[in-house]
Structure 1
């Protein structure tokens, strides 16, 4: 079975999470190219009508431009669209930029997405979804770009195996411009409720139905399937990989990006001594953040957001509060909407804040537990000492 570049673990697309800054942090934590990194969804209109591809400043806020050159096959750009023409133009421009993996969102249940008639709404119109994928495939023809679809196992009252089978059949069988094996399907094992539940509740309240995912896998033997939803441990990743083509994790990585390091060690066999240290990752990230601000005027609040899940325990809580205050205080009165100005470099503010948080953290720990940065589970056996929680 073919899967997108044969990478078997993926970081799910998450709005206001998997921006270029978070993806850069994830790549620094796991520099081995083991995990597929997904952008947050970008509307196809941004390319077809907004011409975002002609504006590097805007594009850099949504896509990891630096990563495309170094890890083109390890980045997936997800688009949302209800128009085959817009989707075709978006893929055409993305291919020109060097993107090698593009996904159509057929699973988001948010109100704004519903108003645009895409996301999970497309599951109710499988012919339109197939037309969009068909147009995307045509735009990618002749390139090395792979097209995939991310959807739920059901939507509203349509949650039977027959309904899901018909939806997937429409996608893979009516795509004329590529063969069936090159269309990948990412299945979130929960159905979506378009009314009555928020996007957050849609990630927790509908029951997980992994059996439905594996039922589809048995029906479509020439289609690659990635399972998504509720996977939050090394054990569960390994169990799903024994059957599925791949595993996708979202909130687990958002809450603990160092879980990627655990997967590198336990799933991919990377020796402990080769895993990056937190101090090195932090140093490289703040350098990257300085460059993002200098080159693209990225706001400090956006640059700082990935660091909120970088530290754990008491020190993590102290850092989040202190960092939020420090970044807000650093913004000068001369700041404009399009060109924010700050009193100090991002790296200086972060490193100073980390030192203050470390000092506060040490007050609550025994002298034998003192360290500069808290260790992850996989690093606790290395040179760093485990910080108190």
Structure 2
């Protein structure tokens, strides 16, 4: 099997599993208790919290554990809306956000909030001038994803943070795809809140965190006990938290070498696909993109058919976000960057890992070439296109 869907989820690293195992059956105490067994759990949780904080240039007390990126996004938007509603009910985001943001914005719109959805250019980048123009006296939050989960484009986060700070507006970024993939410093980038998820960085599923800058007055999201400094109730998922901390330690240690390798393989495969398959193009910014992300559109084919045929060859890929898998609608991200519906339907996303090899890239390139040609040979649209070319 060649696994190239690391944007959907990653393999949990063996050292992460090893770190988690004792906290299932040996150190299984509740971290909120005062006896020594519970103290072992709290000690492990505090270590993971410090590890994550250090990776962001944050303070440990600014890290709040959640069940993952979607919960963190919901918390950031809903709690900010509730806490700052007296100041205003205007929120700015983009048209290419993950649905955890977009659907939360729709929820808030039904409750009287006004949302401005920023456009993006063909590469998926927002306009800083458009952002500035969108800010109003009643704007309470700007939420822009760090890097897009489909096309890999990295937004100008530091500049967005600076603009938000200048206008006294809170800035949240969904960094689920970017965290531990690229360097992030919340102070240098003026980030007030940041969402991340463990299973995107070789950690376990069902665990993530929300960074909340000290002084940001957003309220509890889950009510009950006093866990997470009374902001997120519920017995802590200690094995998951330990696993997340171990995954972050690992990711920080290998980031430089992993990035170099992935960029080299990414650009190699991009070059092969561009040079050897006609009527296709790369989606997303060529250089301002995640190290492991490749997203192509192929004319005259249907992406789901390509995925099925790739799977038959043992290649795991996707046509976009795993959260919209099975939907008949074209990607909202690809439509937002200007693709037509038929162009957006013929998309392929390949996301690499540090385990990817050049040999795998060559196999994938050859298989994609064969599959695209086979699907085009069955396409009436492609047949009409070839006839029109001959007539011209």
Greater relative contact order structure (CA < 8 Å, 6+ sep) = 2
- Structure 2 length as normaliser, TM-score? 0.26
